[in-house]
Chain A
Amino acid sequence: MHIENHPILGKQLQEPVTFYFNDQPYKAYTQQSVAAALMANGVKKFGLSRKLVQSRGLFCSRGRCCSCYMTVNGEDHVRTCMTKVEEGMSVYPNLEDPEVRREKHGD
């Protein structure tokens, strides 16, 4: 849920954007991180851990723990707590290690 009227900071959510998670549209606001935007829409599970294959989501929101890795606009392992949500952004969960050697990387 978005906090439309913050008790101390007032009405801060001004510019709405639409972004896509698993191709489904969701509403967010420009100053929010991708991770926060997902949580506002009730999405807490961002991916799976590589070894034990357990659910993972936002943890530190400071860009240090890497628990919130997702695929954003085609790029894997993006720290979604440090990335601002943008209009039309496409987000997918981080389900496995990215393929580093891909055709588009010339390998």
Chain B
Amino acid sequence: MIEPYVEPAAPGVDRGLTNASELAADKLVVRFQGLAAISDVSLKVQRHEVFGLIGPNGAGKTTLVNCLTGFQRPTEGRIILGGGDTAGWSASRFREQGVARTFQAGRLFKDMTVMENVEVTAAGLGASLRSARKHAKAMLGWIGLADKAALHAGALAYTDQRRLGIARALVLSPAFILLDEPAAGMSDAECEDLMELVASIPRTFTCGVLLIEHNMRVVMGISQRIHVLDGGRTIAEGTPDEIQRHEAVLAAYLGMEA
């Protein structure tokens, strides 16, 4: 059961463009030394939805997320947040303006406590230490890590590390959160718990979710729309039903797993 989230007051914190209703990639191209990782991809993530991004290994999913969060400069095309161009923004600027992300490898601050991991983001967004602690506490309570707040992040169990990564990104309610395979390596039961949590994010935080996930059943279950990449190109976008019946998708992706 996912609990309601009560956000503490946040004086002095600049929420940036947290009223942006849409995060979009427009005709995005990324080339690494001439080799195209992303070719002409356009997509729009809405504030109220879970948007699934799938594709076989090497399809360019993570590169796309890197572009959408300022970690990778597009070779061509634009990233548009709430109608405004984001050219030249740094990764920290993206987070300030309300675009948060998690990492496939977790990338927790391993030598810091669970609490401090979450406090860092609040502090980065301009909160005082006292206010950062309040937000971290509320967020850890919501995500179910309150009793582990004082532990070393590196000492957490694997699934808890994944939750902490999400908590760290979600603190001070961003407008969008991009989750890069949050359930990788989890058992089916663990995965289901986590996906229940992910599915509740748009309602609870008014925060759009872009979800990269390998487990097709999971993605189909919680996404409102799904975008399929293969070899850096868009091969389909639509509702889960449409994607499941899409021929190119079946050939490129589902066919391999079946």
Chain A partners chain B = no
